[in-house]
A and B are shown apart, each in its own frame.
Chain A
Amino acid sequence: MRTAWIALGLASVFVATFALAQGAADKRRSGYQDMGEALQKMQDDDTANPGMLFVQLGEQLFGRPAGAANKSCADCHGAGSMKGVAARYPAIPKDADKPVDLEGRINLCRTANQRAEPLAPESRDLLSLEAYVAFQSRGQPIAPPSDPRLAPFRAQGAEIYRRRQGQLNLSCAICHDDNAGKKLAGVTIPQAHPTGYPIYRLEWQALGSLKRRLRNCLIGLRAEAYAYDAPEYVALELYLMDRAKGMLLEAPGVRP
């Protein structure tokens, strides 16, 4: 019996050491760690974080009946039921064969369950609902679903991430894997982990989605940005979320 306890004790020491070693070996950084202290404070303080205004608006919209069904989100999804949801999207909805991201999922609920018009990409209402849902996963580790059907889509995302594009002939990986931490025109290149979306970006003076951010990069490469409803974004999001697996969500994030 005593031996068993010692073995258990040793095992837990090993597990703890291993976890520590894992933590130390994990070189992944959220964009939060690369920005100045003033912006970090702005994100951390709910009364200063502009994204929180959208979370409040999202909460109102969540409880407001919409569409021919005259149902609100809250009629089906009770208080707190959205916890962890943003941490695992994109995912394949029930009875579907293709993944959707969180915005896609919100619009699917609108059209199928509320029988309402889908909300326009980057519209205030869509971003607010997304912010409200994502806020409920704040502090949760990113946890992509193990659904094997996602594998080919994720692989497509990885391929796009490594593909050179545009007149400048650069890939996402060239900047965000090979040169992260270096300065692009004086600005630290982040590792591109989607930890804070939707984010309030000072450059935009607005809340925006990961898609909007991806489009910014594509335009920077002088590449033709995909249409907002293109499956390429969902594939990239799947890959990026998998790459950031275990990192903590910060939504709504603030970024320069």
Chain B
Amino acid sequence: MVRAGPLAVLLALAAPAAWAQQGPRDVVVVEGDAIPEPLATRPGDAARGRAIVANRSVGLCLLCHSGPIPEERFQGTLAPSLAGAGARWSVGQLRLRIVDGARLNPDTIMPPYYRTTGLRRVARTFEGKTILTAEQVEDVVAYLATLKE
């Protein structure tokens, strides 16, 4: 995320103060390299978030990442470990990285979990849908924020 700093500055220059993206049901406001405000009114729940992260067909996280979820034996090595994510990033920074990591690094392999635009040949079943709902993003953020080491 070395590129995050300069790019965030560019974004700030391009759209003074803040910039808005039309999500499927919310306006998402990005400030710098973070989304400070929750996407949903219901507060995120870390236990639900953990279950989403562990689920290979919902969160998909452990396909690429490893994490402190020992009961899931088959974890990925394509991306950094989720351990310590809550120490490395603020809640708002975690939120933007899940919502649309390409805002920080256009070459990222991290799928955009809360974006429906700019995608090609999305399967009909998933067309117009985000990978996670706003509530699910909040749950995952709440879980990752607990991973302090």
Hey, which bits of chain A sit against chain B, CB under 8 A? 163-170, 174-175, 178-179, 182-187, 189, 219, 222-225
Contact = CB atoms under 8 A, between A and B. Distances in A.
B14 interface: no
A247 B112 CA distance: 36
Contacts of B120: 163-166, 223
B2 interface: no
Interface stretch (B5-13, B31-39, B71-79, B135-143): B71-79
A170 B75 contact: no
* Contact-residue size bin, chain B (C-beta under 8 Å from the other chain): 20 to 34
Contacts, number: 71
Interface string B96-128: 000000100000010110000001111111100
Contact of A183 (B76, B109, B123, B124): B76
Contact of A167 (B73, B75, B76, B119): B119
Contact of B77 (A166, A182, A219): A182
Contact of A170 (B109, B122, B129): B109
B131 interface: yes
A185 B73 CA distance: 9
Interface in B34-79: 56, 60, 62-64, 73-78
A187 B124 CA distance: 28
B109 A167 contact: no
Contacts of B56: 185
B128 to A, nearest CB: 10
A17 to B, nearest CB: 36
B122 A186 contact: no
Given A179-B109, A186-B73, A223-B121, A167 B131 contact: yes
Given A170-B111, A179-B78, A185-B76, A219 B64 contact: no
A170 to B, nearest CB: 6
Nearest to B62: A185
A166 B121 contact: yes
Given A167-B119, A169-B119, 15 more contacts: A163-B120, A164-B120, A165-B120, A167-B122, A167-B123, A167-B126, A168-B60, A169-B112, A183-B75, A183-B77, A184-B64, A184-B78, A185-B74, A186-B73, A223-B120
